[in-house]
Amino acid sequence: MGQLDHWNAALESRKLKRKPVGVKIAGQDVVLFRTETGQVGALDDVCIHRRMRLSCGHVEGACVVCPYHGWKFTADGQGTSPGTPRMHGEAVSFDVREAYGIIWVKAAGVDAEFPDFALPGYYRVTSDTFTAEAPLELVIDNFCELEHSGTTHVLFGYDLDRMHEMTFDVRSDEHATYCRTVGPHKPIAWFQRKVFGLGKEVTFTSTWTTRFSPVQTIADHALSDTVTGRPARLQWRVGEFYTPIDAERTLVTIVVFMKSSYPGTHGGIRLFKPVFKRLANSEIERDIAMLASIADKDTSLEGMRLSRFDKVHALNRERLNRVYRGIELPRPVMHGPIMPSPIAPSSIVSPTFDA
């Protein structure tokens, strides 16, 4: 399979209104347009007549109209010329889905799994995209380790001074990697502790799975009171989707779900949705800013002084190339046993790895 054969996240649904929008997916220019009945079409963003960008055009009925000589194209690519009505042509069209507030695009007619990560009892608070000035590998690396949470993040993350107490476990199978970190959370302000229903000592457990069709990490972030073991009143599930724009840039799509044990509709989360959205986005913007500042954006791991927190990166690269890009490369050395299923909370075994 090639990169466009997967359900790549392309754009927030709310950003596609009456005007067509041009996006780039793995180097391919695609025009997205919403017909008058609300259906989304996706075509190669080059007019078959004289190569004008269709994203500079407009929508009429069920068609996107080229601004240059007025050719009209339906969502399945059928094109007609107003100047030469007997002339027909076909533009390359893509399959489109809208879900979780996001428009997803893949090559037409290819079988691909669609991400399914909503959980009962969780409420979606935000779906947003960010452009990372870094290649796909470096973006995945960032979202698959939490060593950076001690410094890069403000609202959540491990206590930098106690990072050595944090455990990190990795399992993998042919198609995914499964990670879990557990350790002391950085100090939390008293009013936040009150909202979360936590004492002074807080344990942060993050469990995440990274899959490659499309490239995605689904992370569950859980806070609990270290002394009583009681879970916080708010829990998070975050879907992170990584779509290469080109070799240097990556679209990061974040879908955040929350669960609350407070009474009322969705435990009050719906009421405070704008606040949670702003807080979540401010944390992702910190990741994006950090990625932009990496001095050398070579995607190779050669020559790096990798730590125990980095042991998943080689496993991810192998799956990224094989599953997402359809390229078979030599397998990296596995750390820990290969497991057929995600980590069950009771079955964590620390793999051996040099500190």
Residues lying near ligand FES in the complex (CB under 6 A) are found at 47, 49-50, 52, 66, 68-71
**H or E element, residue 317:** helix 313-319
Query: Residue 74 forms beta bridges with which residues?
Result: 63
CB-nearer residue toward ligand FES: 69 or 322: 69
Task: Report in angstroms how near the CB of residue 30 gets to ligand FES at its nearest.
Answer: 16
Q: In the complex with Fe ion, which residue's Cβ is closer, 55 or 129?
A: 129
306 binds, among ligand FES, Fe ion, none (CB under 5 to 8 A by kind): none
Q: Which does 73 bind (CB under 5 to 8 A by kind): ligand FES, Fe ion, none?
A: none
Helical H segments across 43-156, by residue range: 136-143
> Which CB atom, from 89 or from 336, has the smaller least distance to ligand FES?
89
- 99 contacts which partner out of Fe ion, ligand FES, none, CB within 5 to 8 A by kind? none
Q: SS3 for 337? A: coil
- List binders of Fe ion among 272-291 (CB under 5 A): 287
Draw the binding track, 240-279, toward Fe ion (x: CB under 5 A; -: no contact).
Answer: ----------------------------------------
* Least Å from the CB of residue 51 to ligand FES: 6
How far is Cα 71 from Cα 166, in angstroms, rounded to an integer?
Answer: 60
Nearer to ligand FES by C-beta: 54 or 245? Answer: 54
52 binds, among Fe ion, ligand FES, none (CB under 5 to 8 A by kind): ligand FES
53 binds, among ligand FES, Fe ion, none (CB under 5 to 8 A by kind): none
Nearer of residues 69 and 270 to ligand FES, judged by Cβ: 69
Strands in 40-44's sheet, in edge-to-edge order, are 21-25, 28-34, 40-44
**Shorter beta-carbon distance to Fe ion: residue 141 or 287:** 287
Minimum CB separation of residue 32 from ligand FES in Å reads: 17
Q: Which of 351, 355, 348, 340 is nearest to 206 (CA)?
A: 348
Task: Give the three-state DSSP class for 134.
Answer: coil
Residue number with CB closer to ligand FES (69 or 233):
69
| Binding partner selected for residue 287 from Fe ion, ligand FES, none, CB under the kind-specific 5 to 8 Å limit | Fe ion
Q: Could you give the CA distance from residue 5 to residue 287 in angstroms, rounded to a whole number?
A: 28
Token couple for 251? 């679209």
118, 257 Cβ separation under 8 angstroms: yes
Cα distances (angstroms) measured from residue 261 to each of 197, 223, 231, 238, 285: 10, 13, 10, 18, 28
User: Cα angle vertex 252, ends 330, 161, to 5°?
Assistant: 85
Radius of gyration of the chain (CA): 22
Which tokens is 115 given? 């991400």
Contact of residue 196 among ligand FES, Fe ion, none (CB under 5-8 Å per partner type): none
Q: How far apart are the first and last CA of the chain?
A: 37
Summarize as ranges the residues that interact with Fe ion (CB under 5 A).
287
